[in-house]
Structure 1
């Protein structure tokens, strides 16, 4: 691969000529490299720097032993991997991305990503709004919110009564339970838990999605109840996704868990090892391999997709940005995308990426309509 070949492909692309699959792969790797070097808009001259390093990267990417593997990553466009680069860097570099009129762009940009926020509801119905600046902890039979002690006995609440922590669409929150276990709640989720764990087990109820890091206590197993699964652990890290009208999935990051079909334990419980997941589908419990990095990416501030359908991707975006997607073309939901998107970008950055896959977006209020580009 010579530097002049890359320049020729750049000139061909800028002149509007159609590139074949290999040329697209070369071009995408070129822009991906440059996007990782700077977050600022670059001139055409600056885009041609460091060709020696870029050339070596491209040769490695399209070598014979990797060509077949690499090409499987692309669907309808060779640029799926570009999402891995910073969104701000990518958007400057692809003139083929759809340009929205000023009004549409402003509407998209006005919708920001979600943030740390939740609502704590005590057993007596008393409510407390929480945000990223709010510290909440359970201890000595009471709840502390920003250092203020909520004396539950004075409120007539038993410490074994269940509190409800709710994250709205566009919200997420982390809570530390009385035993020191940590729970991260994703958007549109609900966790019911006691202020103090009593008896011979620690039990909580989950609707939605959460990641758990459980303190080891073999004498008091930790149990999670969802609509489709009962999960029992001694000390481990795992992710549960159990939204209404969706399949329930428990993926194990480390340790060991026992998963039963239904909300109560079963003699036919399934034991998971790290890197495995239990999936409830049509009343059956299936064991599968899991991509833990992808499953838990939301906790680390990322959307991470691997041959994910647009239907699944937009479901995640809906919860995080508190919007609704409507498909005007029936082929869009099944399209697949691979890559990563930071969860902190605004909605305009998201639709710009979708535009690269020939998907046009229009927004009215908080409803986004998706159609194939004309």
Structure 2
């Protein structure tokens, strides 16, 4: 194929008018460049042809549209970019400068990656390609591929967002925020990772997530996930960047996890403490630790249906003359008994 025919087909390709046969012809011509096509010998002619096509190629590759899977077609734009960066006059001559692996990374990073920022003043609902939903807080940014890879789904968050992830056991979902990695199969959770605060907080509403940081095992060969933490609903973890450690706790406002039709009453009439503690554990999915033997003779009459979890605990402890602390996402109650 001579240069005039190439220019004609390339122009049709850039306009989106190429037939599949013409695309195949371009691909075949591209593969045979070094053996069958006589490239312009004059350097000025080479630069002229490059300049003629570069503006259109550049404009096409910066659009936020899915990248064609045929690597030969995306390679034309990638090669042109390499020429501009390195100052080479004729980009087809230097295609061997980029290997297949580097090309794939280049195309994925530059062409198929999407970055979205919520520029409004209210939370924004953002849907990913797998139908997972991300609610971005104002000023927050999410980065992700246009289409997720075959074995895992990966996104990067700057700021704060609530994730409602579509369940897929064969393709775990990863969120990268500062130095923290959150791994889930299908659940809903919130992450706070603002650029002005190196500490990152992950709070779970439903399901389970694994949270870990590669920094915690940077000097060993351990799997970072094995020294991370597993979070269940109403639990959260904060990664303290300066101390490089994970602190597990309960969320600020725990919610009742049982469906409304199945919820038990929190009105008690001369009920043993064990019954009340069991009700709190089941409703909020938490562990309440106390000395059952010391409090075996304690009975309470009260109504706690309208109170939050922390208010329930405060009222019960006042009636018992006890106190409570939240330690490692558990409620620990201490008191003299009855």
TM-score (norm 2): 0.40
Structure with larger Rg: 2
Q: Which has the higher contact order (CA 8 A, sep 6+)?
A: 1
Name the structure with the higher strand share: 1
TM-score (norm 1): 0.36
